[in-house]
């Protein structure tokens, strides 16, 4: 990041304040207001932070107008070939460059060594109500890793950080699969160290005693790709949550558990579940695609076209584009079909020629096709957001690391525009 010769001039109370203008390697300019309050007692107002660059970052670049997404400079389209590899991408995001053979092998070994969860933690699944939402379980269990791995709670040791990151990435898949098995009342199977990351996850989900789930290459590749496409997305809601929590010097487990909670919301990661509900209700005849579009445009109706629109993308989300193509590929190879895919395509076609969506630049986002692809892999709807969280974990870890590597990082503590009462006297209860 560099300071340009340009200055932004703010005129307030008859006074002119010159503000430095910053540029990154690519992307928008930023007016540096970081000293505005200390030097002039003025705040800025940007409640959803839509015009605020809250940090410096070198991890992910998005050009929302052009529909571009790159991890450490590499366009996400490159990770589809020759073979998608989530663990390689996780390393890239966290440590900043593509791993060598040796680095990848060591990282894989660390993941395998840490794939079991403590039996005490595993037993806790049995005490949870069977209908517990898997995202609630995931957030609670990630937070509880702190109880079983106290060694990793102090900050500042690079080696311990790497071990903690590997533990999280490895154990999240075991915890995720166990939350599904709990909901089904199935016995827990243990991870298989001979399997790669995604195949092992699918084994943990679907193997039953004496009946090993055999994962096909197409499904394993598709799962790798789903995780890769969710792996980071710069300062989105859950990542910003991880950074806010991390800024208080909270440990990695606690910070990532907070990210899971943010991701759960239907306006964020939970949207993929809402998309499937919407498509199913069209399929069951409860709603026509045209009614759906009409309801989404009606300002008196809180209904949204889920899987459409994005704070940053004002163009087709590049992840949705890839997922749409992969869904076609997987269905063709498996020689199956999902009627929801046809409904999704019809909705997309209607929306993309409707002036409401055109004027507001609302295009399909990552959640529009991800659920259909996950269904093809046999993943139940209540696990969609959990899988999003598994994919996003390396991104959260990378952003947490970047934040902690910055010696000038301060606690994140915004200000407010106060609209409440002016000074008021307390009135004792008997006098009210
Ligand atoms: N359906 C109908 N109208 C929409 C939609 C939608 N999906 N998305 C945005 N709009 C409308 C808004 O009502 C608003 O209209 P107005 O200008 O007439 O008031 C306009 O488009 C701008 O939308 P905002 O809500 O201001 O955009 P914002 O950047 O705040 O929100 C968000 C982005 C939350 C993603 C929004 O588009 C949305 O709710 N989409 C549906 C939920 C969804 O798919 N979320 C997943 C996002 S991707 C992710 O988090 C992984």
- The mean pLDDT of 96-109, rounded to a whole number, is 96
Q: Would residue 367 show up in a list of annotated catalytic residues for this protein? A: yes
CA geometry: angle 69, 23, 68, nearest 5 deg: 10
Instruction: Kindly state if the Cβ of 372 falls inside 6 Å of ligand 1.
Output: no
Closest atom of ligand 1 to CA, residue 50 = 29
Whole-number Å distance between alpha carbons of 338 and 372: 8
pLDDT (tens digit per residue) in 59-92:
999 999 999 999 999 999 999 878 899 999 999 9
Query: What does the pLDDT read at residue 19?
Result: 97
Beta bridge pairs of residue 30 = 22
Instruction: Kindly state if the Cβ of 239 falls inside 6 Å of ligand 1.
Output: no
Question: Residue 43: how many CB atoms within 10 A of its CB?
Answer: 13
Is residue 96 within 8 Å of 58, Cβ to Cβ? yes
Q: Would residue 338 show up in a list of annotated catalytic residues for this protein? A: no
Instruction: Kindly state if the Cβ of 371 falls inside 6 Å of ligand 1.
Output: no
Options 310, 328, 404, 425, the catalytic residue: 310
Options 367, 404, 405, 425, the catalytic residue: 367
- The mean pLDDT of 196-221, rounded to a whole number, is 94
On whether the pTM is more than 0.85, the answer is yes
Instruction: Kindly state if the Cβ of 309 falls inside 6 Å of ligand 1.
Output: yes
Q: How confident is the model at residue 1 (pLDDT cuts 50, 70, 90)?
A: low
Spell out the SS3 assignment of 22-67.
EECCCCCCEECCCCHHHHHCCCCCCCCCCCCCCCCCCCEEEECCCC
Residues 6+ apart with CB under 8 A from 279: 340, 343, 344, 347, 371, 372
| pLDDT of 4 strictly over 80 | no
CA geometry: angle 202, 208, 214, nearest 5 deg: 45
pLDDT (tens digit per residue) in 169-204:
999 999 999 999 998 889 999 999 999 999 999 999
Query: 141: CA distance to ligand 1 center in Å?
Result: 31
Residues 6+ apart with CB under 8 A from 200: 115, 173, 191, 192
Whole-number Å distance between alpha carbons of 34 and 251: 26
pLDDT (tens digit per residue) in 347-393:
999 999 999 999 999 999 999 999 899 998 999 999 999 999 999 99
Least confident residue range of 222-226, 359-363, 368-372, 427-431: 368-372
Closest among 366, 115, 104, 346 to 231, alpha carbons compared = 366
Quote helix, strand, coil % in the chain, to nearest 5.
55, 10, 40
Residues 6+ apart with CB under 8 A from 264: 133, 135, 136, 139, 270, 385
Q: H/E element holding 68?
A: strand 68-71
Closest among 265, 257, 264 to 139, alpha carbons compared = 257
């Amino acid at each position: 990041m560099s300071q340009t010769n340009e200055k932004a001039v703010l005129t307030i109370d008859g006074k002119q304040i010159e503000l430095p203008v910053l540029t990154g390697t690519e992307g928008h300019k930023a007016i540096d207001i970081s000293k505005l309050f200390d030097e002039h007692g003025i705040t800025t107002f940007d409640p959803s932070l839509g015009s605020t660059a809250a940090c410096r970052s070198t991890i992910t670049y998005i050009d929302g107008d052009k529909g571009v997404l790159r991890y450490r400079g590499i366009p996400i389209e490159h990770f589809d070939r020759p073979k998608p590899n989530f663990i390689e991408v996780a390393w890239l995001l966290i440590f900043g460059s593509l791993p060598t053979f040796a680095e990848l092998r060591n990282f894989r070994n660390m993941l395998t060594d840490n794939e079991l969860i403590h039996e005490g933690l595993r037993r806790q699944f049995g005490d949870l109500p069977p209908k517990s939402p898997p995202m609630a379980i995931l957030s609670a269990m990630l937070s509880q890793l702190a109880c079983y791995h106290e060694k990793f709670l102090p900050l500042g040791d690079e080696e311990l950080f790497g071990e903690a990151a590997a533990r999280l990435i490895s154990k999240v898949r075991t915890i995720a699969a166990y939350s599904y098995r709990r909901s089904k009342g199935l016995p827990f199977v243990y991870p298989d160290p001979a399997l790669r990351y995604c195949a092992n996850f699918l084994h943990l989900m679907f193997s039953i005693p004496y009946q090993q789930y055999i994962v096909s290459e197409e499904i394993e590749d598709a799962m790798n790709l789903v995780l890769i496409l969710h792996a980071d997305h710069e300062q989105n809601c859950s990542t910003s949550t991880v950074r806010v929590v991390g800024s208080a010097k909270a440990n990695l487990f606690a910070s990532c558990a907070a990210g899971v909670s943010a991701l759960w919301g239907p306006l964020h990661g939970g949207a993929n579940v809402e998309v499937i509900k919407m498509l199913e209700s069209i399929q069951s005849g409860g709603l026509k695609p045209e009614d759906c579009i009409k309801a989404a445009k009606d300002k008196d109706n809180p209904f949204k076209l889920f899987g459409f629109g994005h704070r940053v993308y004002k163009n087709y989300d590049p992840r949705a584009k890839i997922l749409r193509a992969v869904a076609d590929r997987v269905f063709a190879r498996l020689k199956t079909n999902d009627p929801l895919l046809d409904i999704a395509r019809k909705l997309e076609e209607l929306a993309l020629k409707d002036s409401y969506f055109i004027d507001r630049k609302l295009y399909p986002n990552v959640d529009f096709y991800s659920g259909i692809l996950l269904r093809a892999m046999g993943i139940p709807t209540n696990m969609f957001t959990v899988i999003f969280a598994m994919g996003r974990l390396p991104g959260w870890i990378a952003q947490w690391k970047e934040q902690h590597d910055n010696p000038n990082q301060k606690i994140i503590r915004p200000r407010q525009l106060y609209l409440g009462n002016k000074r008021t006297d307390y009135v004792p209860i008997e006098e009210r």
